[in-house]
Structure 1
């Protein structure tokens, strides 16, 4: 079998592409790598700028101080609960809204889509939302972390486009002839055929829930309900305040250096679970984004 040989111009073009893309890859990955090595390096070396490619004077004191706080495990449990429950609700509601909007025979779908689009540009603001949550009795409850923001309009648009392209009305009509109800068709046909876009939605919503700490600052008062992000924030603030509370210069400097190490450790502790989850969803994520962007 003959192979097509690349011309000199093609090889030069490929080389330039590799160099440019390699540069951008380095720009993206190096900060993450630096945070990882800085979190296990001696804080003196980090502050003095001696840590570049490899950790120096490896120490796990920062992680020890982080995990020594028993609140960290409560925060992990709360965040996992908020993320799993919230993402399940998000994906379910988004699919239930997007599916009828993807059917051409659904009357009023253009009007409903317009109403949804308006919410992307205008909102009631934080104060009305806080008063609503308070009047509904949701303040300082887990439901406030799960229900608020249950549907993202942008995600509805992606899902609707995906369903328009992949779930034909002919398939729905064939199922109806066999006696399949609309609800059963949605459960047994639409959801299994939508794994790609469901993975995209799970990743979008899951990362949002995992990183969210603003809602907990506003609506939660009980420490035992705080998510991981808020717990890590309080640990970091406490470590920084300790250096300001002592008059001993040497102790102040030591505490400041430890707080620097804790700062990097906090980023790793908060990011690793999502980084470990992404490879399992990557192939669905790419497929869902590409298919959902073909037609819109």
Structure 2
């Protein structure tokens, strides 16, 4: 990243994990399971490759794309390692890195939290649990919307017959 000049940029957070081999294998298994008769009949009807992709393949792949999107969203949400390596600017740090700093070192907590922990109004364990719940909320909110696609998307291509 340093030789590419990408340190202290958001691209340095996205680029290293932009392509996942596992996700490619899941997508490949799904696309290999699509019946070739569907595309052949569309070609006979005069459909171009782009039209076949947009009107046949994409509607069929909605479930697997939802699952892959969930994998990427959770992966990027919980990713803190790349930011700890490639970012030095505290203003650019993602929320996960700030939350880790709060959990590991109470001394770097905002002033009001430091005082509450020192006076005993807020326990250190209570602060850590609150931070964990805060980190979990977006995933817990997004998951039910993708839940119905999850089972179908993961099993597609895994079972033949």
The equivalences for 1:82-231 within 5 A come to 133-165=1-33, 167-231=34-98
C-alpha distance in 2 between matches for 1:292 and 1:163: 8
Q: Is the 8 A contact 1:240 1:256 kept in 2?
A: no
> Which runs of at least 4 in structure 1 moved beyond 6 Å after TM superposition?
none
C-alpha distance in 1 between matches for 2:80 and 2:68: 20
Paired residue for 1:236? 103
1:259 is aligned to 2:124: yes
C-alpha distance in 1 between matches for 2:10 and 2:84: 13
1:284 is aligned to 2:140: no
Paired residue for 1:34? none
Higher RCO (Cα < 8 Å, 6 or more apart): 2
Describe the shift of the 1:186–1:215 C-alpha distance in structure 2 as closer, same or farther (beyond 3 A): same
- CA RMSD after TM alignment: 2.3
C-alpha distance in 2 between matches for 1:252 and 1:186: 57
Paired residue for 1:271? 136
After TM superposition, the score normalised by the length of structure 2 is 0.84
Work out which of the two has the higher radius of gyration on C-alpha atoms and give 1 or 2: 1
Q: Is the 8 A contact 2:74 2:139 kept in 1?
A: yes
Q: Is the 8 A contact 1:200 1:284 kept in 2?
A: yes
Paired residue for 2:158? 293
Offset at residue 194 of structure 1 (A): 0.4
Offset at residue 182 of structure 1 (A): 1.9
Offset at residue 256 of structure 1 (A): 9.8
Offset at residue 176 of structure 1 (A): 2.2
After TM superposition, the score normalised by the length of structure 1 is 0.48
Offset at residue 216 of structure 1 (A): 0.4
